[in-house]
A and B are shown apart, each in its own frame.
Chain A
Amino acid sequence: MGLKPSRYNHFFEAEDGNILAFNAYTTVLALMTKEEYEITQNILKDPNNFSFNSKEELELKENLKKGGFLIEEDDDEFESLKLKNRIDRFSNSYLGLTIVPTLNCNFNCFYCYEEKKKIDMSKEVEDAIVKFVRNRINNVKSLSVSWYGGEPTLRIEQIERLTKKFKKLCKEKGCSYSAGIVSNGYLLDRDMAKTLKRLSVNSVQITIDGPKEVHDKRRVLRNGKGTFDKIIDNIKNIHDILRVSVRVNVDRDNAERVFELFDYIEKIGLKNKISINIGHVKDYTDACLGIAKNCFSLPEFAKFKVFFQEKIIKRGFSSFEYPRVRMGAACTADRLNTFVITPNGNIFKCWTEVAFSEEYSVGNILKEPTSAQKRNWRKWLLWDPYENPECIHCNILPICNGGCPYMGYKLREEGKGNQQCVFWKYNLEKIVKLTTYLKLRSKEKEKESLKDS
């Protein structure tokens, strides 16, 4: 069988002159000497006529095959990726619901992309959701629910009622149940965390936008008061019950000061008891158009992200993101069996749309879909980076998967391009170098501890 080079190979020169080889299809990362790199390039140029004259060259060839840098001639990575994407997107073995029990929120964050609406979910919609699940659960292996808002903790009784019904259905049908919640953390005290845990909610995402002074200007109560102290107290009290993931939304205004938050988290003993990641503030909807001038562009965000990761990892925080192969759906938006359900029963495909009018929905849980809703449904499910010429030829497609469908459509409609890439496009080299540093450092530490023992 003949061989050919992968279309997803990347080579970067390290500071010490060695070469880092990364393959975006396998996400394998390898370190090679300059000599090995030169031989590698010659092998990849013409793998079927290269004369392997030494044991080292043969070994190199085997490693290149093992890492996916060199593949069999009949292989087609793009087609395989496309197939896996289809299988995952249109599978009905998984049912994912993002449920918004209320659009009401006790916060008034200036960058929120949701229009402020005080709408709670009615009992009628609640019952219809249970019916919706009952009708779809027969072939489902796992049901996963994300509680979202508004602020979902304002409606804990409703979460409790729905969860009990979902778990009963899952038990009857032998499918697994899991849940998570996105909360501002203000009402999430120890008692509520215990309640959520009992309701199979294992993880919570809470946003903190920097040190107290910064956070309290950005994430305020409706009366304008700060929320930092209360949220921190709550995290201290719940991190042993729920897995807490802190999200720091960054833009030009707060980026320089987010590291002060880490000083504080370390000082109060939460380091490595919670996970932290940064989020890119974007002007997703008209509700937050005014923030556009403060938002990082994607290349700027990518640069900041790698700077951020390097800095906090070197300080011993455990938070790092290495490229993964995203071979399935991009998100809820382009997956057949995932739905975002809002308090008035509207069904959307994207979280960003939860406060949008019915015009943008793909259905309503209480009614038959209109032709406009069916059109929206088709739009999301026909989102397809594998038909986009720029994605087809992109050498990071396996780890990008075409990016955010919502932003992709938005950019197209605004005539700003044809795709929404992800940050790897701009920081892959640095991430690969940082990963190498971390892995080698961790191996050295292991060796040292073995010596000591």
Chain B
Amino acid sequence: MQFIIEPLKEKRKKKAKIKFQCPDECTEYCPADCYCFDPSCGGHELCMDGLNYPTPCPTQCGGLARPCSPDTGVCPIFHP
């Protein structure tokens, strides 16, 4: 069995390799490791590993990183 998208704990171990660093208080990262979508974190960045989330984090839709939107963005899923 070969992981294609790894479990979060494994990804965290590799966090040092990620160009964008989520603040320590963040507890969640996008599957591609590029930005966090924990509501307690105000930041996120475009994906650095080729699986690019085109927009901000989903939470911003609710706010955080979000527009999903993120930093404000606009959630690609929910906002027309």
Which A residues lie at the B interface, using CB under 8 A?
Answer: 20-21, 26-32, 36, 59-60, 63-64, 66-68, 88-89, 91, 93-96, 113, 141-142, 144-146, 148, 176, 178-182, 202-203, 205, 243, 245, 247, 249, 275-277, 279-282, 284, 318-332, 334-335, 337-338, 351-352, 404, 406, 422-423, 435-436, 438-440, 442
Contact = CB atoms under 8 A, between A and B. Distances in A.
A182 B74 contact: yes
Given A28-B5, A279-B80, A94 B71 contact: no
Interface centre among B30, B69, B73 (most CB of A within 10 A): B73
Interface in B1-35: 1-10, 28, 30-32
Contacts of A435: 4-5, 51
Contacts of B40: 91, 93-94, 141-142
B58 A142 contact: no
Nearest to B55: A245
Interface residues of B, number: 52
B58 A322 contact: no
Given A96-B60, A442-B50, A31 B55 contact: no
Given A180-B56, A332-B62, A275 B2 contact: no
B4 A205 contact: no
Nearest to B70: A180
A404 B78 CA distance: 6
Nearest to A181: B72
Contacts of A320: 47, 50-54
B64 A142 contact: yes
Given A94-B40, A328-B39, A435-B5, A146 B72 contact: yes
B4 A31 contact: yes
Interface in B41-68: 41-43, 46-47, 49-56, 58-67
A28 B3 contact: yes
The binding surface of chain A is classed by DSSP as: mixed
Interface centre among B1, B47, B52 (most CB of A within 10 A): B1
9 contacts: A67-B3, A88-B39, A88-B62, A144-B71, A148-B74, A182-B73, A319-B54, A330-B61, A422-B77
Contacts of B47: 318, 320
Interface of B: 1-10, 28, 30-32, 37, 39-43, 46-47, 49-56, 58-67, 69-80
Given A28-B5, A66-B7, A180-B72, A96 B46 contact: no
Contacts of B78: 330-331, 404, 406
Nearest to B72: A180
Contacts of A284: 80
Nearest to A337: B63
Contacts of A334: 62
A26 B50 contact: no
Contacts of A442: 49-50
Contact of A205 (B1, B31, B39, B55): B55
B42 A176 contact: yes
A276 B1 CA distance: 33
Nearest to A407: B78
Contact of A322 (B1, B32, B65, B70): B32
A326 B60 contact: no
A328 B63 CA distance: 10
A323 B67 CA distance: 16
A338 B80 contact: no
A334 B70 CA distance: 16
A438 B51 contact: yes
Given A28-B5, A29-B4, A436-B4, A93 B61 contact: no
Nearest to B41: A142
A67 B38 CA distance: 20
